[in-house]
Chain A
């Protein structure tokens, strides 16, 4: 699955690269007429969107799905079917969005889709809907991948791999996956508002109806800036693996790298307004974000110095992957330095929306994402196929790519400073920009030639013989893989005592191969892996992983149906597709948390582990917790909208409008709290063996949740609040709908737990379902508290 994922993302990258070549051809000479302005708008929008959403983020997820299980000595990540669901969502969404350009309806509002240009249906057509709905669908798959990767890193490490022995790649992936949880949901919230405005005419971004286009910019960039780091950190993580290998020594400054990853993750959330320096916000606000933008340089620099120090202290083998790595660091540093320049407000005002910014961001992404991925490709190709790529072709490709990237993007600094705005489809000869643009275009073709050489190298790979195991003489676990693929993954799950076990633990490979470590057999023929504790990786259970199934694929296609049919305003079929999605997901869930045929099984060395766990030790509980964190973040994006509108309006709600009052919101809150209390009671009763009481409480809880939906919507409905008149009504309605929809999902969860109990799939000792449902209810109660108190009492209206 990981290999398919990687290949698909690579193909989307090639497609987006071709779009860039068409653009560069158009700009090669002044007053060119190769493409029209409208086509050009579609080209740059799709190029940016595809590179970000269909290449950079999915590529990191794909690479992680390939190498993370091997790096952690696990048989697989904990939710292989979730990975499959993510992949099919990604494939369908990607084809849908990219295919639109062949019908001349591709999105054309730029990759950040600023309203009101994009929300006015007379200014932008179907493309905006395709962008919003198609990419929302892919955002769902990214959150799914984040869940998979976080639980994988925290719970599926081999015994003994304490946090301080974890490969740095896993640290980076953990950090990035957590960033996804907090970065993507605000965009999902923004997408929701955006489509409500486009499809239903609710008012969020029109100033004339109390909206504010800046709200979109905030929500977009709270996502958009961390996004830059979300795609940069996993690529730099590849360096943390290959630099020790080619220095033939441990990486220096392990805790400093962790500092860099965690520090960057936090600081990157304090940078979003630096994309909005030119919007007229007060200087004091801009200054905070400028300061944070300067501070993020510190952790970024620290990790680069740690890499350089490791190379300086080691015995360097200058292989092709290392050549790519060092070259990309050089490119990245140039991008970083121009980043420091544009983080300074007055400079940014000069450079804003010029080719200087285009140059900056491409240097960062070339050096921080694309070239490191080529390094990773050359490094990990033997892991996947058992064969090395050609050194000669690789080195040639590197120099062509390196020259091409610099020739393309360096002149853009100059054309930008000379005043060339970004996103123009042509320019007059009198501006004197012809030479610089021609150089950029030649560079782009040179770069494309480099990519072509890499593709040729990949295409020749099947003709080459298999190499030896661990061809780079690396020290980390993933290189235990044999050149001939083995379907069971690692032969036995090792006990880890050092950071580089292949180097430092005597006879390590032989012991793994001879099955001397844990779980060497699968007596029942099931795919199993060990679950360990978060801090010290003490084994706590053996879990059975999902096997290949069509359900995730069908569920992904059904969910895709919801988004695609909504794009074409086919609401009834979309609703049917939504119902189908729900049915498929429930069917899929039904296969999980099965009660094993025996309570425990031996894993070797006299250790016996349970086959069923629930609650805070179980992967399923963690998955629910992480998903709900993302959900709560999306919700906070909507609540941010409410308070944001309060700040921009003198009177809120506006004169002449009445809010939902406080009675109905309080009734909804009380009913939700009752539903929560019933669930908590049901969990406790079930644990004590009072199964009938638990079932009654679950039924009562579901009933209470369903009634709370009516109470929640009655407030805005009975007060006649019209979402199309003013942003106040729109934001109240959207928050009320969000919370009541969550109450509905809560009721489905309660009924699901009830059904599991009735079907004998959940018992007092096998209570994973009810514990996960209770966890959902905790988050639901929090959502309801914030929603109904805000709508009922803030800012002092009744």
Chain B
């Protein structure tokens, strides 16, 4: 079953748009977090009283990033010739884009975790 899944994942189309899925997710989460906290403080004067909204959004962002990272990992490991994969072939172009996506997913996970940390420690609008 896993093999079948891997086959399907490897057949997915990879472009410059898929490359930016993880960091764009980080950006959306960042904006969401900022608006969630800042708008509550500005409009109501007290800290957002529904933390579940924030943690759901954070969980969603983490899922999207981890999923795109995992897809990228499978694609980057497409079997074939030996490394280093820097030839001018279609498969190496795919491996490169996938590997760069994987690295960006790593950075984005760290970014989302960094953004979530303040909410653990701060619970007021001062």
Contact = CB atoms under 8 A, between A and B. Distances in A.
Interface of A: 160-165, 250, 254-256, 258-259, 262-263, 265-267, 269-270, 281-285, 287-288, 290-292, 294-295, 298-299, 496-499, 534-536, 647-648
A285 B34 contact: yes
B104 A295 contact: no
B100 A283 contact: no
Given A267-B111, A295-B111, A262 B96 contact: no
Nearest to B19: A262
Interface string B63-89: 000000000000000000000001110
Given A262-B19, A295-B114, A499-B86, A288 B104 contact: no
Given A291-B117, A535-B16, 8 more contacts: A164-B95, A259-B100, A270-B111, A283-B126, A284-B41, A294-B114, A534-B16, A647-B42
Contacts of B104: 259, 262-263
B113 to A, nearest CB: 9
Query: Which residue, of A164, A294, A535, A536, has the highest number of chain B Cβ atoms within 10 A?
Result: A164
A648 B42 contact: yes
A288 B115 contact: yes
Given A291-B115, A499-B86, A255 B103 contact: yes
A288 B97 contact: no
A536 B97 CA distance: 12
A285 B119 CA distance: 10
B27 A162 contact: no
B60 interface: no
Contact of B38 (A267, A269, A647): A647
A260 B126 CA distance: 35
Given A263-B23, A263-B107, A270-B30, A284 B96 contact: no
A interface SS class: helix
B9 interface: no
A461 to B, nearest CB: 37
Contact of B20 (A262, A534, A535): A262
Given A164-B86, A165-B88, A535-B16, A287 B118 contact: yes
B37 A535 contact: no
Contact of B107 (A291, A298, A497): A298
A259 B100 CA distance: 6
A161 B99 CA distance: 18
A31 B111 CA distance: 48
Contacts of B26: 266-267, 270
Interface in B9-37: 15-16, 19-20, 23-24, 26-27, 30, 33-34, 37
B125 A647 contact: no
14 contacts: A163-B16, A259-B100, A262-B19, A262-B23, A266-B26, A270-B111, A282-B124, A282-B125, A291-B115, A291-B118, A292-B111, A294-B114, A498-B86, A647-B38
B119 A284 contact: yes
Contacts of B124: 282-284
Given A283-B126, A285-B34, A496-B88, A535 B42 contact: no
Contacts of A648: 42
Contact of A536 (B33, B86, B90, B122): B90
Contact of B96 (A164, A282, A287, A295): A164
Task: Report the 5 A-B pairs with minimum CB-CB distance, sorted nearest first.
Answer: A287-B118, A164-B96, A266-B23, A291-B114, A259-B103
A84 to B, nearest CB: 29
B23 A292 contact: no
Query: Which residue, of A165, A288, A534, A535, has the highest number of chain B Cβ atoms within 10 A?
Result: A288
Contact of A262 (B30, B47, B86, B100): B100
Query: Which residue, of B23, B119, B121, has the highest number of chain A Cβ atoms within 10 A?
Result: B23
A255 B88 contact: no
A252 to B, nearest CB: 10
Contact of B37 (A266, A285, A290): A285
A496 B89 CA distance: 11
B88 A160 contact: yes
B83 to A, nearest CB: 12
